[in-house]
Amino acid sequence: MRKKNATSPWAAEVEMQVQFFDLDPMEIVWHGNYVKYLEVARCALLDHINYNYVQMKESGYAWPVIDMQLRYIAPASFGQKLTLRAEIVEWENRLKIDYMITDTATGKRLNRASTTQVAVEIANGEMCFVSPAILFEKLGVPVP
């Protein structure tokens, strides 16, 4: 995998190659594996903003995914090189990330998706209705 810079300050791209173990009996990527690909892109994005899962936990917050939407456009197959892109599009009350999976060689769209995460205080298990200040700091935007 190779990380690339994306145009948005809150975006990251990772390239990967489809492995044999991700295929279904039809010899294309099994639909459930796209969730794993989103996680790869999300981790690259969180590293990019310097707020990965370890740092989230250290800051006192867990960020569970509460919603996920996926749209399958075209299948991926063994050996195909994919570009996984993730971009933060909302952060005030929740962390919403949009994704695009494309064929690296052609740029053809294969999948688009979004996830929504909310901050939960680890100490008391309560969901926050406003994102904590640490997220705003990591994004370099003023806290409302």
144 falls within a domain: no
* DSSP element (H, E) containing 5: strand 2-5
Task: Look up the domain containing 90 and give its range.
Answer: 2-139
Contact 44, 3 (CB under 8 A): yes
Q: Provide DSSP, 44-113.
A: HHHHHTT--HHHHHHTTEE--EEEEEEEE-S--BTT-EEEEEEEEEE-SSSEEEEEEEEETTT--EEEEE
The domain total for the chain is 1
- Residue 8: pLDDT band (50, 70, 90) is confident
- Residue 144: pLDDT band (50, 70, 90) is confident
123 falls within a domain: yes
90 falls within a domain: yes
Structure tokens at 95: 């962390």
How does pLDDT run across 14-49, given as a tens digit for each residue?
999 999 999 999 999 999 999 999 999 999 999 999
Structure tokens at 25: 């009996």
pLDDT value, residue 30: 97
Alpha carbons 133 and 5: distance in angstroms, whole number = 25
Amino acid at residue number 7: T
115 falls within a domain: yes
What is the CATH classification number for the domain harbouring 88?
3.10.129.10
